[in-house]
Structure 1
Amino acid sequence: MQRPSDVIFYEPPETLRKTFWLAYATAGLQLIFWGNIAQYAFTHYTDNPMFSATQPPPPPLPLPGTEGIESTEVPLAPLRTRIIISAGLVGTGLVIAFGICAIPWRYVTRLTFLRGGTQIRIDTGRKFPHGYHRSYPIQDMQCRQQLVTNVGPQGTSPVKEGSSAHIMLGSKKERMAFFVDRRGTFKDAGLWDKVFYRPY
């Protein structure tokens, strides 16, 4: 809950919602992709070298009464092997999807200076299981990139065209930093650098 003495210092650009939907859609497609591969591996994987991709299978031996009828069945790997391989593929998909979802979960949707000037509150795009709202001491926050570049309408655009439009705001007590979009609205970009910019 925002108090009258709190100051909203940063808000992201209006295109943020599209960015989140794109990230979640990409994560979902990754799960579908790796799930299909896992299902195919479970139903088709064989560890018999005679049926490898580099060596064609030998001609089948006809059974009595089946002369002239070719068998196309390929012996599958043991069930345990297929389960392990399929589980590994599903796990790979989960890791990739989680990494993609980490973008909205660590994407700053609002940064507020709290009353007293010693703490900030960071809101992110994480919605499940509940929204992310957490306060941090200002002295624990640091940004390795300088915000002010004197480029663009706000003077915060990337210096080089095609460079990332995001800077990373990290906490000394957390391993993963927050994404802050340079294209967002800053109350005072110069003050941001004075408070958070620590190149070393």
Structure 2
Amino acid sequence: MSSLRSLHLTPRVLASQGHAEGRGASCPLLCHCTRLSPSPLGRRSLTSAPRIVNISVLPSPAHAFRALCTAEGEPPPALAWSGPALGNHSAAVLGQSHGYRVTAELSALTHDGRYTCTATNSLGHAEASVYLFRFRGATRASAIALLLGALGLKALLLLGVLAALATRSRLEHQVTQDTPPR
């Protein structure tokens, strides 16, 4: 005879993570126990809502960027990306899958802005975001104009100093010629 029981389990959070034991963030698990034999150790399966465990932006060849999102849950969650120039949702390229853990990649981040990874399964959904802002240096023409402007300013300052020295020298020379010898 088989029986089905559901237990609500809350895992303990270690004190080393900054929370007191048994308090803080918890991930509810639903345990379905089916007794297949008279043994008290029956077959068990765990289910959990999705949780994003890592989201990151990595460099690609040719000065491009790519984003990776890793989520876990049981059943394994479906991952989708949203962001600039992707519309509301874009299907992610599924990468590695290890049972309850799934990784998806967004291969080319073409625009600056917020990219959001959404993990969904039958028990819920989770979201995490990364922001991409690329530094764009000055164009070559404006950099040359800036250098020439600085050089021109230095040349004007040098001419001003030389003109002041020449005027001072001329005034001193005139004063010495105007005084009679004693």
> Normalised by the shorter chain, which TM-score bucket?
under 0.3
| Structure with bigger gyration radius | 2
TM-score (norm 1): 0.24
Richer in helix (by share): 1
Richer in strand (by share): 2
Structure with more relative contact order (C-alpha pairs < 8 Å, separation 6 or more): 1
